[in-house]
Amino acid sequence: MLSRSLVLLPLLLALLAAPVAEAAPGNMPPRARAAYQALQRGDLETAQKESAEAVRQSEKSSPAWMVRGFVLSRSGDKPGAEAAYRQAIVLDPSNPVARNNLGTVLLDQGKPDRALRAFNAALSLHPFYADARNNAGAALEKLGRAAAARRNYRLATVIDPKHAKAYNNLGAAQLRAGDVQAASSSFARAARLDPSFDAPALNLALLGARGRNDEEYLARLQRAAAQPDATPSLKARVLAMLAGREADQRNWDRARELYLEALTHTPRDTTLLNNVAVVEDQLGMDREALLHLTEALDIDPDLKIAQNNIGIVHVHRGKLDLAESVFTDLLRQDANFHRAHYNLGVIQASRGEVADARRSFQRAARLAPRDAAVRYNLAILARSDDGDARAELRAYEEVLRLDANLVEAHLAIGMLLADPATSARLRNPERAVRHLRRFLELAPPSDTEGRQQATDWLAWLASQRD
């Protein structure tokens, strides 16, 4: 019987999350309204002058201070914006919008605990404030409270069924929990609700889940990016979408080329830095992958996806002790990061530490019960205990219901159904061929061992028919 190895999670494509939204105030004094209108026109200099004059003339006006915070935030002065929003709250403690906006700038400054308090204060004043509920989810994710974050995103969509950003963020949280199908559905819903919102369509592209309007959407983005006044961010997003498509087709060289071109437009984009590292790892360019992941962490030290991916690159280099230290350190920071539990289990299983591996996989499964890769490895460990081939087959089938493209599950089913040691009542050579061929369609060229196993089994099955 050919061996079936544990599957290591691929490096993660960092999903594009929706930015938390600062809302504009109502009942603005004339100078504050002039500042807000200048900001809408993109005239930041006038907005700065008018908002400063607005709070000088109307220093007791909460809306004037809110506009001042709005302008300072858009100018990149987050501490100044924070002070302005706090003054707006002092002048009007019952204003939930000011508290929501305060939370957004606190979150931008890397203060998720304080931001969450501000969002919760807004929600205590206005329990059906969808933006604050969505933003509370973003703060909870930063604090490592993934389940609570998903609940808040879902509540935001219940409060406002047209809240595209909440659906996008819910999709990203669902994917991080291993529920690919639910994530695809949420991204598709966000894209339908707001076709001008880039993130969900790009996330769908990264998942390889093409929507019906994907071609039209991409063509529209490309036309916009070709305009003389196109922003660097828009140009980078179009290139990232094209790169995601190439990666989905396993055209790794072309994907890397497009991601690097996108980085020329937005060199501090941590999503792009992470994603080019994903591609470089597939190409065997471990040094380049580690450099890009380290650069992403220099920009955002709390980017857990990049930390996790550094550990995976070390695994691929055969540096298991170094990888283990990365995953262990990540779990010290966030005990609920299920992928670190998973990857630690892979290392433990490769060393024959079956009991430790099972505990790691079980922790990952509790945190992400719909993660197909976790369920797959638990099925393998269970097989080593009781040898129940029928239960093993059912487990693999459940895995494929969660993720129809989990390549290792196709190989496992194919070999189980082809193996002469499997009972005659369970063996199914025709179905085995289908799964082995599907494995060869999905498996990357770098998986030489798995591809050889599938090829050998197909050749053996063909010989039995002759």
- 238 belongs to a structural domain: no
Instruction: Specify the number of domains making up the chain.
Output: 1
Say which residue the tokens 């003339």 belong to: 57
With a CB cutoff of 8 Å and minimum separation 6, the contacts of 7 are 346, 373, 376, 377, 406, 407, 408
Higher model confidence: residue 293 or residue 30? 293
Q: How many residues belong to the chain?
A: 466
Tokens of 193: 């609700």
Higher model confidence: residue 39 or residue 286? 286
- pLDDT > 70 in the chain, percent: 89
d(Cα 33, Cα 380) in Å, to the nearest integer?
A: 64
- 136 belongs to a structural domain: no
Buried b (16+ CB within 10 A) or exposed e, 141-157: bbbbbbebbbbbbbbbb
CB atoms inside a 10 Å sphere around CB 93 = 12
Whether residue 298 is predicted with pLDDT greater than 50 in this model: the reply is yes
Higher model confidence: residue 115 or residue 301? 115
Confidence grade of residue 207 (pLDDT, cut at 50, 70, 90):
low
- 177 belongs to a structural domain: no
**CA distances to 13, 252, 301 from 334, in Å:** 20, 31, 13
Q: To the nearest 10°, the Cα dihedral for 96, 100, 101, 103?
A: 140
Confidence grade of residue 405 (pLDDT, cut at 50, 70, 90):
confident
d(Cα 375, Cα 362) in Å, to the nearest integer?
A: 9
Confidence grade of residue 466 (pLDDT, cut at 50, 70, 90):
low
CB 179 within 8 A of CB 372: no
The predicted model gives 321-350 an average pLDDT of 91
Q: How high is the mean pLDDT of the chain?
A: 85
- 277 belongs to a structural domain: no
CATH number at residue 430: 1.25.40.10
Higher model confidence: residue 205 or residue 171? 171
- 61 belongs to a structural domain: no
- 391 belongs to a structural domain: yes
d(Cα 202, Cα 182) in Å, to the nearest integer?
A: 16
The predicted model gives 162-174 an average pLDDT of 90
The predicted model gives 373-384 an average pLDDT of 82
Q: pLDDT, tens digit, for every residue of 442-452? A: 887 767 888 89
- pLDDT > 90 in the chain, percent: 38
Closest C-alpha to 66, from 30, 92, 40, 38: 92
Q: What was the pLDDT predicted at 408?
A: 87
Confidence grade of residue 75 (pLDDT, cut at 50, 70, 90):
confident
Q: pLDDT, tens digit, for every residue of 12-54? A: 555 555 545 566 666 778 888 888 888 888 888 898 898 898 8
- 418 belongs to a structural domain: yes
- 237 belongs to a structural domain: no
d(Cα 94, Cα 100) in Å, to the nearest integer?
A: 12
Whether residue 99 is predicted with pLDDT greater than 50 in this model: the reply is yes
* Range of the structural domain that residue 422 is part of: 287-465
CB 279 within 8 A of CB 12: no
Whether residue 258 is predicted with pLDDT greater than 90 in this model: the reply is yes
Q: What was the pLDDT predicted at 341?
A: 93
